[in-house]
Amino acid sequence: MEVDPDALADNETVLKLHRAAATIEALAARATARWDAKKEWAVDGAKSGGAWLAAKTHASRQEMNRRLRLGRAIRCMPHTEQAWLAGSITSSHVSALAACRRSESLAAQFVDDEERLVAKAPQRSFRRFEQDLAYWRLEHDLDDEEKRARRQVEGRQLYLSPGFQGTWVLNGELDPINGTIVHDTLGSIERELFEQDWKEARATLGREPIAAELQRTPAQRRADALVEMAIRSRTKPKDARRPEPLFTVVMGQPRFAQLSELASRTVVTPGSLVPWFDQAWVERMVFGPGSRVLDVGVQRRLFNGATRRAVEVRDENTCFHDLCDEPIGEIDHIEPAGWGGPTEQTNGRGACAFHNRQRHRRGPPG
């Protein structure tokens, strides 16, 4: 604690500190659960251990109750407890694993698979780890997952209510597929507004602006994008063609055997896709050894950009950089085209916009 923070500000030390923090959190959760079971807090007249802790630490009761829940959960999760104490996973991993175990239909299977599931956590990004757990649930209790998916659709809701002094308050909840449709459409319009703001700021300042100098904040652009989306829906031609989803059927690679996710990488149940079949296009993609594309076929229409799609599917729509799990924004040549690299699937890799720009700022490899 007496050391100058700059002396600790290197990659190795920062990583050690975060792992130590995870270990301390695990120790605190484990000890807190044992303390709660003894009910020592009742002597002071507290309603619960969480209430006692919240009062004494001045923290939120939600946070203290969460710590208690995790401490109780790891009593029956020995591999999870060991990994958390070692600092190789965090409380977020523990929460995700505990949620799998809480399902009555999966509890017995979780006992058999816990060690394997926990072992994946330090090797994957957290988003990938959540996908692993989602596929595990689909594999071992598809019926329950389909019921959950139907509840999400049935639970869709949206409220647009008059607020104070003529304002409007908007909140709601959508299932993964419909939510993705709204999110992607809104995001596309928001990007248009961002480019417009950027161009105007550059013209005014006479230089490249920074984000803080734009006329609208990201939240304001999202609000304006929603209004613009409504305006466009009112003014589109009556005979305009509705956007239609594209389903990609992947075959030939074991790792794609259960691929059932949106382009945003949200895992969905197979049954969630059924209502969309009557309005979707379907493409077929066959992978051989080494993730090489053997065949790309399309039903009902020609699919332009098959090579790009092959790279997106092969790379699971994730940036190639090992420290990034952003969705693919661009397809990058492994060997630059300007240096003779072919525009083929074997020479392509998915990249987010940042890492694609970073790579080319540094110049070609070698």
Residues 220-235: tens digit of each pLDDT: 999 999 999 998 888 8
Q: The pTM is what?
A: 0.72
* Residue type present at position 65: N
Per-residue pLDDT tens digits for 149-160: 999 999 999 999
Per-residue pLDDT tens digits for 163-208: 888 899 999 999 999 999 999 999 999 999 999 999 999 999 999 9
Strands 157-162 and 168-173: antiparallel
What is d(CA 330, CA 351) in angstroms, rounded to the nearest whole number? 5
pLDDT at 361: 52
C-beta neighbour count of 227 within 10 angstroms: 10
**How many CA atoms does the CB half-sphere of 229 hold within 13 Å?**
17
What is d(CA 60, CA 39) in angstroms, rounded to the nearest whole number? 20
Query: Are the CB atoms for 321 and 338 separated by under 8 Å?
Result: no
C-beta neighbour count of 115 within 10 angstroms: 13
What is d(CA 245, CA 249) in angstroms, rounded to the nearest whole number? 13
Q: Is the pLDDT of residue 96 over 90?
A: yes
pLDDT over 70 for what percent of the chain?
Answer: 84
Query: Are the CB atoms for 71 and 29 separated by under 8 Å?
Result: yes
Reported confidence tier of residue 29, pLDDT bands at 50, 70, 90: very high
* DSSP of 51-93: HHHHHHHT--HHHHHHHHHHHHHGGG-HHHHHHHHTTSS-HHH
Q: Is the pLDDT of residue 100 over 70?
A: yes
Helix, strand, coil tally for the chain in percent (to 5): 60, 10, 30
Reported confidence tier of residue 113, pLDDT bands at 50, 70, 90: very high
- List, edge to edge, every strand of the sheet that includes 246-251: 246-251, 281-287, 293-299
pLDDT at 179: 93
Q: Is the pLDDT of residue 107 over 80?
A: yes
Domain residue spans of the chain? 5-123, 174-235, 246-361
pLDDT at 300: 34
Q: Is the pLDDT of residue 256 over 70?
A: no
Q: Is the pLDDT of residue 56 over 80?
A: yes
What is d(CA 18, CA 118) in angstroms, rounded to the nearest whole number? 19
Report the candidate in 292, 296, 303, 308 with the shortest Cα–Cα distance to residue 343. 308
351 burial level (CB within 10 Å; 0-12, 13-18, 19+): buried
Q: Report the 3 state secondary structure along 129-150.
A: HHHHHHHHHHHHCHHHHHHHHH
**How many CA atoms does the CB half-sphere of 75 hold within 13 Å?**
12
